[in-house]
Amino acid sequence: MNTDQPTTDNQQPSTNLETNAIRIQNQRSHFDEHSTPLYLTSSFVFEDAEDMRASFAEEKEKNLYSRFSNPNVNEFTEKMVRLEGAEDGYSFATGMAAIFSTFGALLNSGDHILSCRSVFGSTHTLFTKYFPKWNIETTYFEANETDLEKYLTPNTKILYIETPTNPAIEVLDLEILGKFAKKHNLIFIVDNCFATPYLQQPIKYGVDLVIHSATKLIDGQGRVLGGVTVGKKDLIREIYLFARNTGPAMSPFNAWVLSKSLETLAIRVEKHCENALKVAEFLETQHSVSVVKYPFLQSHPSFETAKKQMKMGGNIVAFEIKGGIEAGRNFLNKIKMCSLSANLGDTRTIVTHPASTTHSKLSVEERNAVGITDGLVRCSVGLEHFEDIINDLKQALENN
């Protein structure tokens, strides 16, 4: 193994996510530090002309320039590759940089994307505003649709989904979609941001590429932005070449922060999910709430699918307050402890009301098509004591 490459302390990767998230680490420098240092350097040096030639010719795996690779970024990427059970990966400045570069590297003019309608807002903007400029069209299917063959064209190249979806918390069946993608020779890409590899590993179901916004639960503390794509080696090679020339590289500092964050991913996500289930169960008892959407509630329409492909239900709970837009706004105004913020997956519980904020520019019909009803509240359940979270939600609902 090349000295620039991350390695485990004992040289043997474990089969356990918790251990790999902690023990995959760059080789120690001559200072014998215990925790990986920060390699805040834009470039690297060479022994001589031959070393430089061989490095640029990729005959050696060596860091050349931090737009291409960097030890901290490599360590973070290597952990994500192992955690997702992938072959290779590349890390980006943001989740959107990962999404844009992945499509940019793999698509040609005339290609067609088949995507679930419930995708992250900026991803939707890419599909509808920017990709058509390059003659790349997208067809949406609904999260609960099963007959997708009718949407295929001879140019359909990519099947794209998120599960659970944002913010309506629908769950799509990875196994069924994996078989469909294989049958029709599509590149199957999943944005696994809401689940994290701790809860769900899409590659097990035949997914080719997994994308993350590392900004969310992977950082987990609302500090830095980041993104990563992992999956099949030949596809990652295309994405790497695209990225090394277009420049969406992850900062070594952010990679260093995110690699440390992964050390606590398992225990954080576990606690997030425990708290979220308690919050969801509490909300189900409230008269002012008409619907609660949480994958591990028996009332969720895809409860069985969620149980099959997810270890726990995630940290996002969506619920419908009776009384529409005004009731949603009143609820936010009454909140005392939880934060009103656009982020999610933070230690701090965050509540948002999509109909009056993030999705207010859409028409009622457009909002309803992606499950954003007027009274829908999205709660990213944090790591505070669950009683304090529930008490805050309770007083905001009571005064409504």
Ligand X SMILES: *Cc1c(COP(=O)(O)O)cnc(C)c1O
Q: How far is the CB of 330 from ligand X (least distance, A)?
A: 26
| Distance of alpha carbon 306 from the chain centroid | 17
Q: How far apart are CA 357 and CA 361, in angstroms?
A: 8
Q: Is 400:321 a contact under the CB 8 Å cutoff?
A: yes
Which residues here bind ligand X, judged by CB under 6 A?
94-96, 120, 162, 166, 191, 193, 213, 215-216, 225, 227
Q: How far is the CB of 200 from ligand X (least distance, A)?
A: 13
Q: State which residue, 163 or 373, has the beta carbon closest to ligand X.
A: 163
Q: How far is the CB of 94 from ligand X (least distance, A)?
A: 3
**For residue 324, what are the CA distances in angstroms to 96, 282, 353, 375?**
31, 20, 11, 4
**280-291: string of b/e by CB count within 10 Å (b at 16+)?**
bebbeebebbee
Q: State which residue, 120 or 331, has the beta carbon closest to ligand X.
A: 120
Q: State which residue, 207 or 225, has the beta carbon closest to ligand X.
A: 225
Q: State which residue, 6 or 167, has the beta carbon closest to ligand X.
A: 167
Q: How far is the CB of 97 from ligand X (least distance, A)?
A: 7
Q: How far is the CB of 349 from ligand X (least distance, A)?
A: 16
Q: State which residue, 66 or 315, has the beta carbon closest to ligand X.
A: 315
Q: How far is the CB of 210 from ligand X (least distance, A)?
A: 12
Q: How far is the CB of 357 from ligand X (least distance, A)?
A: 15
CB-nearest residue to ligand X = 95
Q: State which residue, 162 or 320, has the beta carbon closest to ligand X.
A: 162
| Distance of alpha carbon 294 from the chain centroid | 18
Q: Biggest alpha carbon distance in the chain?
A: 74
Q: State which residue, 225 or 236, has the beta carbon closest to ligand X.
A: 225
Q: State which residue, 26 or 192, has the beta carbon closest to ligand X.
A: 192
Q: How far is the CB of 258 from ligand X (least distance, A)?
A: 11
